[in-house]
Amino acid sequence: MLKFVLKGLIRDRSRSFFPVLIVTAGVLVTVFLTAFMSGYMESMVRQNARFDTGHVKIVTNAYADKISQKPYDLGFIDSESDFEQWKRDFPSIRWTPRIYFGALMDVPDEEGNTLEQGDVFGMAIDLWDPGAVQDIHLQEALVQGRIPQAPSEILISQELFSKLRLQLDSTVTLLGSTLHGAMSFQNYIISGTVSFGVHALDRGGIVTDIEDARLFLDMEGGASEYFGFLPDGIYDDGEATKIKREFNARYNSEDEFAPQMLALTDQNDLGFMLSYAGLALGLINVVFILIIAIVLWNAGLLNSIRRYGEFGLRLAMGERKGRLYKWLLVEALAVGVVGSLIGAALGIGLIQYFHVHGIDFGAFTQDTSMMVENVVYLSADTKNLILGIIPGPVATVLGAMLAGIGIFRRNTAKLFKELET
């Protein structure tokens, strides 16, 4: 009977082609959207971890309270022995110190007078630690010049470099204030320019070695934040939270300069955003199921009306209503499975393309401070793919169930009578 039903389904294009087309389109959109959302969220997590949050980070209590202002004056000083102890306590984590600071950059002319000035956002990392350099993909971000190889060399964002009409190897002066509030001046040589693909950083960022920043800000042996990265480089909220709890139980206290560990999801509303993204993915699937089910319900109703003759005939021949209904659902399932497989195959093709080439959102993120890459690379894991595929058969079966109720409610004699009209 299955062969008989499927044969009829394939031959009757209005029963197969149109519904398969709907499901294919729906699954394609769902799989693509799911992969896009995943890619977007992964990009956000990756960028935040690299530049702002780490997978975990250690800051002082006072710094944590005003963390959005990056108040380096509330950071750690002379904390190297503590840092060594934390590294020993959590050897699976890769640790690296950072200092974020703001300053005014002065560009002198040939006679030493100010030619240009601009605000800069400084990110100081351990440039002699290859891991720290790799964390922010510095080599890949280099547009021209080279990574600093000597003290007092800095990298500057390509955008700022052009705006201030700078030259490579030219000297600039940073004006800022020390940890203790005193005015601070320091000359630096521009060794190269960078573009991270994150507008928040590319607008006016500089990258210095942490020792230079310590000197400039009078933060000997200190750091404003200590970043930690999980072993495989992928954020795992469960693992990060476990480490955070362990660290805070051991080291955190009421003291305003006591160390406190934060997980990635504790910062920048990322916890909320990740949960929201999960919810949004679920909603996409539910909305897809509803829309497709309604469309197929309608198509199923029209089809059922067209097929009353066939149903009446089959009932007259002795087929039970329940069995007839079951075969309707089998047809729907077949349509759902075929449509989903085609939709998923097309979706995977599209995802593969955009996984390699990405989608450039640079034009839309120019004025945002969000840590998102300009080019979002789609990402589809098996779980998301299954989540994208499941709604297809569910929607077709649901549509057929709703449409088929009409047959159940109609009595056999009436269906039989409709056979003759």
Partner 1 sequence: MKEPLVKIRDLSKLYPTGGGGFLALSELDLDIPAGAFMALVGPSGSGKTTLLNIIGTLDSQTGGEIEVLGHKVDTLDARQSAALRAEKIGFIFQSYNLLPVYNVYENVELPLLLLKMDKAERHEAVMQALKWVGITDKMKSRPNQLSGGEGQRVSIARAMVKRPKLVLADEPTANLDTENSVNILDTMLQINEETGTTFIFATHDQKVIDYMKRVVTLIDGKKAKDDLKTGN
For the CB of residue 326, give the shortest distance to partner 1 in the complex, in Å.
Answer: 13
For the CB of residue 306, give the shortest distance to partner 1 in the complex, in Å.
Answer: 11
Distance CA 122, CA 68 (A): 15
Say whether residue 409 binds partner 1 (CB under 8 A): no
Kindly tell me which of 383 and 414 has the beta carbon lying closer to partner 1: 414
Kindly tell me which of 26 and 312 has the beta carbon lying closer to partner 1: 312
Which two three-digit tokens encode residue 377? 């690379």
Say whether residue 181 binds partner 1 (CB under 8 A): no
DSSP notation for 205-261? EEEEEHHHHHHHHT-TT-BSEEEEE-TTSS--HHHHHHHHHHHHHHH--SSTTSEEE
Say whether residue 7 binds partner 1 (CB under 8 A): yes
Say whether residue 6 binds partner 1 (CB under 8 A): no
Which residue stretch of 1-9, 19-27, 102-110, 252-260 sits at the interface with partner 1 (rule: CB under 8 A)? 1-9
Of the candidates 370, 368, 388, 391, which has an alpha carbon nearest to the alpha carbon of residue 380? 388
Count of residues that bind partner 1 according to CB under 8 A: 23
Say whether residue 283 binds partner 1 (CB under 8 A): no
In this structure, are residues 399 and 296 in contact, taking their beta carbons and an 8 Å threshold?
A: yes
For the CB of residue 1, give the shortest distance to partner 1 in the complex, in Å.
Answer: 5
Kindly tell me which of 7 and 383 has the beta carbon lying closer to partner 1: 7
Kindly tell me which of 12 and 237 has the beta carbon lying closer to partner 1: 12
Kindly tell me which of 11 and 88 has the beta carbon lying closer to partner 1: 11
Distance CA 327, CA 3 (A): 11
Q: Is 406 helix (H, G, I), strand (E, B) or coil?
A: helix
**C-alpha torsion sign, points 260, 261, 265, 268:** positive
For the CB of residue 315, give the shortest distance to partner 1 in the complex, in Å.
Answer: 7
Binding letters toward partner 1, positions 288-327, x by CB under 8 A? ---------------------xx-xxxxxxxxxx------
Distance CA 33, CA 38 (A): 8
DSSP notation for 339-368? HHHHHHHHHHHHHHHHHHH-EE-GGGSTT-
Kindly tell me which of 150 and 317 has the beta carbon lying closer to partner 1: 317
Kindly tell me which of 7 and 163 has the beta carbon lying closer to partner 1: 7
Distance CA 83, CA 222 (A): 10
| Biggest alpha carbon–alpha carbon distance for the chain | 104
Say whether residue 410 binds partner 1 (CB under 8 A): no
Say whether residue 180 binds partner 1 (CB under 8 A): no
Which residue stretch of 2-10, 73-81, 152-160, 212-220 sits at the interface with partner 1 (rule: CB under 8 A)? 2-10
Which residue stretch of 134-142, 147-155, 224-232, 410-418 sits at the interface with partner 1 (rule: CB under 8 A)? 410-418
Which two three-digit tokens encode residue 266? 């504790």
Q: Between the CA atoms of 282, 287, 288 and 293, what dihedral angle is there, to the nearest 10 degrees? A: 130
Which two three-digit tokens encode residue 326? 């079951």
In this structure, are residues 27 and 388 in contact, taking their beta carbons and an 8 Å threshold?
A: yes
Distance CA 33, CA 29 (A): 6
Say whether residue 8 binds partner 1 (CB under 8 A): yes
Say whether residue 419 binds partner 1 (CB under 8 A): yes
Which residue stretch of 76-84, 227-235, 389-397, 408-416 sits at the interface with partner 1 (rule: CB under 8 A)? 408-416
Kindly tell me which of 320 and 357 has the beta carbon lying closer to partner 1: 320
Kindly tell me which of 112 and 318 has the beta carbon lying closer to partner 1: 318
For the CB of residue 13, give the shortest distance to partner 1 in the complex, in Å.
Answer: 10
State which H helix or E strand residue 143 sits in: strand 142-145
For the CB of residue 340, give the shortest distance to partner 1 in the complex, in Å.
Answer: 24
Kindly tell me which of 14 and 139 has the beta carbon lying closer to partner 1: 14
Distance CA 260, CA 60 (A): 6
Sites of contact with partner 1 (CB under 8 A)? 1, 4, 7-8, 11-12, 309-310, 312-321, 412-413, 416, 419-420
